Amino acid sequence: MIPSTYPDRATVARLTARMLLDIKAVHFNAAEPFTFASGLKAPTYIDCRKLISFPRIRSALMDFLTCRVMEDAGFEAFDNIAGGETAGIPFAALVAERMALPMTYVRKKPKGYGRNARIEGAMSEGQRVLLVEDLTTDGGSKLSFVDAIRDTGADCAHTAVIFYYGIFPETEPRLTEHGVTLHYLCTWWDVLAEARRGEDFDTATLDAVEAFLRAPRDWGATQ
């Protein structure tokens, strides 16, 4: 069922941040930093996959995401909802259910046997596809999924995520250059503000997180 109520964007961002904090999907640790796949060290880590185990929070966020996309892109803008392997698959299914649309998913790479396909499910030429994922950092993985969708002859000009890092200035221009608009619910800045408001972490940890968010590529060199 398509949601019929939708808070303002600032409230959505704050509530999303609070939900992520409440289920302990947010991890802050300046003493033992996390390492990104790129090798970048950070005092922050987020695990949006945890959301699938919390039905009330999961439902609220999928309502928010569905409304955000329809508000920004249009109520009849899509024919197919695609999830990126693997974290995007459950969220794509939940959004597709709300929008009463077919759902597919995109593999990270061809499976290497059978049809050797990257698209699973029914996707056809000319369909307007929304790519749904759990989060985006610099947008790189989204471009591979978008290209796989476009290779079928379908169109993919929008991607929707629950969480957007919001700290790498090249991310949105990179997606825009590829013809993709990003829709999201909250960023690290929203989480940091809510964590300060709720005193979820000690002040020293939150100050270290803020220092990282302001200069993510330089932070590791100071540790």
Residue with structure tokens 């991890």? Answer: 27
Up-side HSE of residue 155: CA atoms within 13 Å toward CB? 9
Residues forming the annotated binding site?
107-108, 111, 133-141
Up-side HSE of residue 157: CA atoms within 13 Å toward CB? 11
Residue 127 and residue 87: Cα distance in Å, rounded? 23
Residues forming the annotated binding site for 5-phospho-alpha-D-ribose 1-diphosphate?
107-108, 111, 133-141
Residues forming the annotated binding site for orotate?
137
Give the contacts of 153 (CB within 8 A, at least 6 positions apart): 124, 125, 126
Residue 151 and residue 80: Cα distance in Å, rounded? 15
